Chain A
Amino acid sequence: MRKQIQQEIERLKGMGAAYVDTRWYPFEEQEYLLMWNGNLKTTASARESGVGIRVLYKGAWGFSASSDLSDLGALYSKAFDNARVAAERVTFPVRLAEKDAIQAQFESPCKINPFDVSLDDKVAFLKAMDEKLNQEGVEQRTSDLNFIRKQIIFIDSEGSETEKLITEVFSGLRVSGRDSEGGSHERKFRLNRRGESRGWESFDMDYFNENADRIVKEMNQVLRADDCPKDKRDAILMPGILFLQTHETIGHALELDRILGYELAYAGGSFVTLDDFGKLQYGSKKLTARADATLPNSPGSFGYDDDGIPAKNTVLIDKGILIGAITGRQMVEEANAKAKKHIFNESGGANRATSFYRVPIERMTNINIDPGNDGTLEDIVKNTEKGIILDGEKSWSIGSNREQFHFATEIGWLVEDGEITDVVKNSTYKGDTVKFWNSLSLVGDESTTEVQFVDNCGKGQPNQIMQLGHSVPVCRFDNVTIGE
C-alpha cells in the first residue's frame, strides 16, 4: 500500500502537482456506551478505514477521499481534477511554509487498550455508576464511555512519512433534578487528565464514586438555591468553566484561518487582525496563554500534525500581549504576505483532520493558561470582597468574531468579604472578550490547575469534530456582569 501511495504521488507530481499528501487510515474504531436512568440506551461500536488525498495544483487545493481502495489511481486523479478546477478561481496562490522532511512515529500513552477490555466490564462499570448516581433529588442520571483508537499513516511528496497510533478515552457522569418551581438543573463530571496515560487504567472507581457523590450533592444544593442575582461581581472561574472560556474566546479567536477569513461562511471570523500581533493587549499582564501540543497525555498532543509538522509549544499571549496564533503551513505564509511583515516564523503544527475523509484545517492543540502566583482557591476567595465562584458549563454562545459571549453555568457560590456564602442557581455571566481578559486580576497557582479534555470541538465545512485539551488554573475576573 505504501509503495502504491508513493507511486501515485509521483504520478501526480509528474502531471504538475506542486504538492501531494495522503493520509491512510488502516483503521479507526470507536465504541460508545450510554447508560440513562438504568437503561443501557446505546451500545455502539464503529469501524472505518480509507484514504484522503490532498493535491496542490497552480496554487489551489483539491481533495478526494474514499473507503474503497480498489482503484487508488482513480481517487488520486479525482483529487487532481478537483484542484485543477479550483485553480480557476485563485486570489492568493497557496504556498506552504518550509519544513524538514521527517520519518517518525507517535503513540499516545495508553497502558490498557480499552478495546481489549470486555464489554461485560464496561457495562459493569456503567451499572455501578448508575447505581451510585441514583440518589435522592436525582431525576435523570447518565453515565457514558467513549473510546477512539486510530492508526494514521501520512506520506507526502516532500519526503515525509509519519505513523501515529492514537487512543482516546472520554467518560462523563451527569445528574439533573427539578427545583420547587419545576426548573431543571444539572451537574456534570467529566474524566480529565489523570496520571501519565489514558487507557482503561483511567477508570479509578474510587475517583468516580467520589465525584458522583459530589455532583449529586452540589445539584441538590442548586435545587434549593435562590436565583443568581443580576449584579456586577468579581467572577472566580473554576477550571470546569474556564476551559470553555479559554476555548471559545482565545482558542477559536486565534485560529489563523479564521483570522484570515477562511471560516466566514459558517463558523465566523475573529476580531483579531494581522496588525494586532505584537501589539494588542489581549488580557491583563497576568495572562500567558499557549498552544502546547507537547503536553503529555492529552488529546491535544498528537505527535505530528497532518502537514507532517512535529508537535510544538507556541506562546499565544505573553503577559497579556498577543504574539502568536494557531497555525498550519498554508496560513502562516499567507498571513506574512498579507501583513507584509514576518509575523510567523514557521507552522505551529496545528493542522488536523477529524477523519480520512475530511481535509486538515487549523485546530486547537492544548490551549492552556499558565498558572500564576496568586495562591490556592482559598487564597483567591479570601482576597475577594464581593464575588461569585462559577463552575460547570451549561450554555455558551459567542459572537461570530468571538468578540463577545454569554455563558450559563451549572452552579454558582456567592463570595462576600472573603467567605463563601450561598449557592445560587441559574448563574450566568457575559462580557466582551478583550475587556474580559483584561479584567483578569488573580491567577491561581499550580494546585488549582486542571487539564480538561474536549471531545466535541466543531469547525469547518463539512463539519469536523476534534479532540483536544485545556490546562487552566482558577482565575478571577473583576466586575463581571452576572445573572442576565
Chain B
Amino acid sequence: MKEQILSTLRELRAYAVEKGYEMVIYYHEEDSYLMRFANSAISLNTNEHLVRIEAIAYDGRKRASYEMITDLNEIETIKAGMDVAGEMVQHAMPLTYDPTVPHLEVDFIDDKGYDESLAKLSNEERLAYFNAVAGKLESEDIKLSGIFSNGTNTLAQITTKSESVQYFKTSDAQVTAVLSHEKLKWEVIAEQSAQQKSELDPMVLNEELAFLVERYQTEEPEQIPLGNYDIVFGPAATAEMVRFLSLIGFNGGLMKRGYSFLNEEKVGEQVFSEKFTLTDDPARMETFPFKQDFSGIDRKLYSLFEQGVFKGFIWSQDEADEFGADPTGHTVMHNSFVLNAGDHEVNSLQELVAQPREKDILYIPYLHYMNIVNPSQGLITGSSRFGALLLKADGSVVVPYNVRLTRSLLEVFGEKVAWLSKKTVAYNVSSSYGARNPTSVIVPLFMRVNDLEISHSNDSY
C-alpha cells in the first residue's frame, strides 16, 4: 500500500509540474474502528475508511487549498481537484509575507509506530477487552459506558519543489471506560492509551474502577465548602492543563496575536515552579510522534520550560514566515509534550489514598469542559469529574460532589506545586473532531499543588 500511495503522489506531482502549478499534496488515510458502550450495551459499532487528499497551491504570495475525500483509484478526480486549487490561487489575495513552500531534501519514511496487530484488532477482541474491564463491576444500577477506538493513521506529502516524499504510518488505540450509577449519578473513569497491542491491559482498568466503585458505593457524597485546598491532580487533569498551556502559553503565533500570558521578554525567566520541566520529545513513541515536520525539519528534543525557566516559543513554518521568526519544527498535526517526573513515590490511586497526610487533600482526576477565561492572565476554568475524592487528614475518605476551579496556569504550575510523582503515564488526548490524529501527552501520574481556591461546589450531581 505504501508503494501505491507514494507512486500516486509522484504521479500527481508530475501532473502539477506539467500544469505549471506550485503545489503541496497531502495524503491522509484513516482506518478507524470504534466500539462505543452505553448503559452496559454496545451503543454503536462502526468503522470508517477515509482517504483525504489536500492540494495547496501557491502563486508567489498567494495560497489556496482544495480537499477531497476520495480514494487512490480516483486519479482523474484528484487531478480535477488539483486544478480547482490551481484556479483558486489565481483569485486569492497576496499575503503580506512570503509563504514557504516545503522543500523536502530526501525521502523520509517512518512507519515504526505501526503495529498491525493493534490496528487490525477484531470486533471480538474489542468486545473481549471491554468485558474484562467491566469484570464483575456492573450491576442493575451500575452501568458501563466508554469507547474502544483503534485504527491506522497514514500521512504522506510531496511538493513540486522536489521528488522527495514524506510518509508516516502509526497505529493507535484509545480506551475510556466509565462506570456510573443510574440513580445516584456518580461516575468513575479509567483510561488507557496504546501504540502497540502489548500495551493494552484491561485488568489495570478493572482494578482502578473496582477501587473507585467501592469508595463511591460506601461513601455518601458531600458538598465540600468553598475555599482553598491542597489538590492532587490526576493525569487527565494535568494533561488537559498542559494542552491549554500549549495554546495560551508558548505558541509563538498566538503570542503575537495577543493570546498568551507569556511574551518574548519572559524567555529565560523563571515563570513556573522549579519542579516544572516541559519538553517536546519526538523520541517518545507513546506520543505517536512526528520525527520530521511538514516543512521538512527534523524534530528533536525541544525544551519549553526547564526547572520553571521559560526556554522559548514554538513556531510553525507559516507563523514563522508571518512574524519573522525561525521555524522550530512545529509544523505538525500534534506535538509530543512530556512533563517530567518528580521525586514523589506514589504509583497508584490506592497508594495515594493510603499515604499519610498532614492535612486534607482534594484529588481531582479529570477537569471537564475546560475553557480560557482570560488568555492574558492564563486564566482557565473547569469542573472536576469522574471520581474526585477528598482525602482527609485523619485517613478517612470523603466523596465530594463536583467542584469548579477558575485559576491561572501561572498559579497552578507556579510556586504552589508541592510535588510530582516519579511515575509518569501517556495520557491520550486525541480529539475525534475531523481527521484521525492520535495524540498523547506524557505527564506524572499525580501532581500536587497546594492552596488552590475552589470557586464553586455542587450540592448534587
Contact = CB atoms under 8 A, between A and B. Distances in A.
Interface of A: 35, 37-50, 60-68, 70, 78, 81-83, 85-86, 88-92, 118-120, 123, 126-127, 139-140, 176-178, 182-184, 260-266, 268-269, 271, 357, 359, 394-401, 403-404, 406, 408, 426, 428, 430, 432, 458, 461-463, 465, 484
18 contacts: A40-B93, A40-B94, A40-B95, A48-B68, A66-B50, A67-B50, A68-B49, A89-B41, A120-B91, A140-B258, A176-B258, A265-B38, A395-B374, A397-B381, A399-B368, A408-B374, A461-B36, A463-B432
Contact of A127 (B91, B93, B431): B93
Contacts of B93: 35, 40, 123, 126-127
Interface stretch (B16-24, B102-110, B142-150, B329-337): B142-150
Given A61-B44, A86-B42, A357-B48, A271 B461 contact: yes
B135 interface: no
Interface string B40-73: 1111111111110000000000111111111101
Contacts of A264: 38, 145, 178, 180, 187
A125 B63 CA distance: 18
A126 B91 CA distance: 13
Nearest to B71: A68
A462 B32 contact: yes
Given A89-B42, A265-B36, A397-B383, A45 B91 contact: no
A269 to B, nearest CB: 7
A182 B255 CA distance: 12
A461 B436 CA distance: 12
B176 interface: yes
Nearest to B49: A66
Q: Per DSSP, are chain B's interface residues mostly helix, strand or loop, or mixed?
A: strand
Contacts, number: 243
A400 B40 contact: no
Contact of B381 (A42, A61, A68, A395): A395
Contact of B373 (A61, A260, A395, A462): A395
Q: Which 6 A-B pairs have the closest CB atoms?
A: A48-B69, A119-B91, A86-B42, A43-B64, A462-B432, A85-B123
Contacts of A177: 258
Q: Name the residue among A63, A70, A178 with the largest chain B CB count within 10 angstroms.
A: A63
Given A123-B92, A357-B48, A44 B66 contact: yes
A395 B180 CA distance: 29
B406 A406 contact: yes
B456 A430 contact: yes
A400 B385 contact: yes
A43 B149 CA distance: 33
Nearest to A142: B257
A484 B370 CA distance: 16
Q: Per DSSP, are chain A's interface residues mostly helix, strand or loop, or mixed?
A: mixed
A39 B176 contact: no
Contacts of A123: 91-93
Interface stretch (B81-89, B290-298, B306-314): B81-89
Given A82-B45, A357-B50, A400-B369, A261 B145 contact: yes
A63 B45 contact: yes
Given A82-B45, A400-B383, 19 more contacts: A43-B65, A43-B92, A48-B70, A65-B46, A70-B73, A85-B45, A91-B39, A123-B92, A178-B258, A261-B145, A265-B147, A397-B404, A398-B383, A399-B369, A400-B369, A401-B185, A432-B459, A462-B34, A484-B406
Q: Name the residue among A86, A90, A426, A430 with the largest chain B CB count within 10 angstroms.
A: A86
A451 B35 CA distance: 37
B43 A262 contact: yes
Nearest to B131: A89
B50 to A, nearest CB: 6
Contacts of A64: 46-48
Nearest to A179: B376
A400 B258 contact: no
Contact of B458 (A90, A182, A399): A399
A358 to B, nearest CB: 8
Contacts of A86: 35, 41-42, 44-45
Nearest to B65: A44
B127 interface: yes
Interface in B276-294: none
B88 A119 contact: yes
B180 A46 contact: no
B113 to A, nearest CB: 21
Nearest to A66: B49
A406 B456 contact: yes
B211 interface: no
A65 B48 CA distance: 6
B63 A43 contact: yes
B8 interface: no
Contacts of A399: 368-369, 383, 402, 404, 458
Q: Name the residue among A62, A89, A262, A430 with the largest chain B CB count within 10 angstroms.
A: A89
Nearest to A39: B95
A47 B81 contact: yes
A382 to B, nearest CB: 31
A401 B34 CA distance: 24
A408 B373 contact: yes
Nearest to A355: B69
Contact of B39 (A61, A260, A396, A406): A260
A282 to B, nearest CB: 15
B233 interface: no
B373 to A, nearest CB: 5
A458 B373 contact: no
B433 A458 contact: yes
A265 B145 CA distance: 5
Nearest to B89: A43
A398 B459 CA distance: 15
Given A82-B47, A265-B176, A462-B32, A118 B91 contact: yes
A454 B292 CA distance: 37
B67 A45 contact: yes
B69 A49 contact: yes
Contacts of A428: 373
Q: Name the residue among B258, B372, B375 with the largest chain A CB count within 10 angstroms.
A: B258
A396 B371 contact: yes
Contacts of B376: 178, 182-184
A227 B213 CA distance: 44
B282 to A, nearest CB: 26
Contacts of B382: 397
Contacts of A408: 373-374
Nearest to A30: B67
Contacts of B97: 39
B218 interface: no
Interface in B397-447: 402, 404, 406, 431-433
Contacts of B164: none
